[in-house]
Amino acid sequence: MKNRITPLVHVCVILCFLILSSLRGSGQENTFFTSNYISPELKENKLIFHYKQINFFKNNEYFNNLYDGITYLGTRINPEFSYSPSTNFTVTAGWMVQYFSGREKAYLSQPTLTANWQFAHGYKLIMGNIQGSLNHLLPDPLFTFDKYYISPEETGIQFLANSKYHITDIWLNWEKFILPGDDFKEEFTAGGKTILLIIRPSKGVGFSLPMVGMAMHKGGQVENTSGHLQTVFNSAVGINLYYKPTTEKKDSLGIQTLFCGFMDGSPYKGLLYSRGWGIYSNAYIKLSDWYFEAGYWHGKHFIAPRGEWLFQSISSKYGMYWEPSKDLIFAKAGWKHDICNGVKVGTGGGLFFDTQRNTLDFYYQLHMIINLDFPIRVKNSRSALN
């Protein structure tokens, strides 16, 4: 049993931080704490070396029956070379390595290979390592921040669109590939997110309709296993009303409500529930380098294989424990600072209070993010594409 005095000290610290942050204003998406790297526009026949590094610390102080608290402390690096044989096509090759502090061996090590084709203005097709994880900008009930620390880079196919009327992200992340005779099942996640921009002002009141759909699948036809096929669906649809006080900055404030759904589409229903739902509402403020958001979640029989455990009705700790309905009040805040060109630091935290069970969970985090580009001259080079 943990000493209960220690959590109370942590709570006092994080409460002070949240109060100070909210007084200063603010609000950013999850990618605030990731590299959120966007390659610079490459001219034809140009080669660039990218160096990406994230030093991270996140401490989850959780005291519920769904998910154990854990501390993530480590470094992820990803050096890459990008070459553009034309103005609308880029190929990238590199290697990603992640270490957790206190462990001698690398936790993750994999090549990063990407082909990026901009086939029209604002429209891209990406194959290989896609812009995944937190870059999908999914709500917490559908995708947990912690997967960023424990999952490899997403690999598959992605379609991105950014136009006057919508912002769209459609992807396939192939997590486990199988060959005939393998003793495990293939796994992949297919998803899509579209934000319909009903009113998209450079200043003033804006209105949008976000829609998300995801399918998580475990199966295959050539593996040598006896387990059941599993397909789980999650969805979200809602409204987002916001106000931008100025055109020069990205400051804004707004409110958002999402109706989230869950359905077990497997032939054999192996989960505790086959259908569920939840309502996720929050208000947010983005002001200069600060952010703040607060909201409420009500869920019933809700399950999301990629989602934050605190919003779900089943437990990762105890197989025979469940919470049919959930009511959470949550608040998040953070601050970032640009140290120099390509280097920034960000810190933040959050609280989750379960009103039915009177439990308080919280976290705090610190990230240092490095994105550096080094152009390399190319002489007498030619594209391999004909």
Specify the pairing of strand 343-354 against strand 89-100.
Answer: unpaired
Structural domains of the chain in order of their starting residue, each with its CATH number: 5-376 (2.40.160)
Sign of the CA dihedral with 289 first, then 70, 174, and 139 last: negative
The mean-pLDDT minimum among 36-40, 87-91, 145-149, 186-190 falls in: 36-40
In sequence order, what E strands does 66-185 have?
Answer: 71-86, 89-100, 108-120, 123-129, 155-162, 166-176
Among 271-275, 352-356, 382-386, where is mean pLDDT lowest?
Answer: 382-386
Q: Which of 2-16, 172-186, 354-368 has the highest mean pLDDT?
A: 354-368
**Phi and psi at residue 5, to the nearest 5°:** -70, -40
Mean pLDDT of the chain: 87
Could you please report the per-residue DSSP string of 342-355? TEEEEEEEEEEEET
Q: Give the pLDDT score at 225.
A: 74
In this predicted structure, what is the pLDDT of residue 117? 96
Question: Would you state the pLDDT for residue 20?
Answer: 33
205-257: per-residue pLDDT in tens?
Answer: 999 999 999 999 998 877 667 778 899 999 999 999 999 988 777 788 999 99
**pLDDT for 148 beyond 80:** yes
pLDDT digits (tens, 9 = 90+) for 171-209: 999 999 988 888 888 999 999 999 999 998 888 999 999
Per-residue pLDDT, averaged over 87-95, amounts to 95
Q: State the pLDDT confidence band at 43, using cuts at 50, 70 and 90.
A: low
Task: Count CB neighbours of 222 within 10 A.
Answer: 10
Query: What is the pLDDT at residue 379?
Result: 66
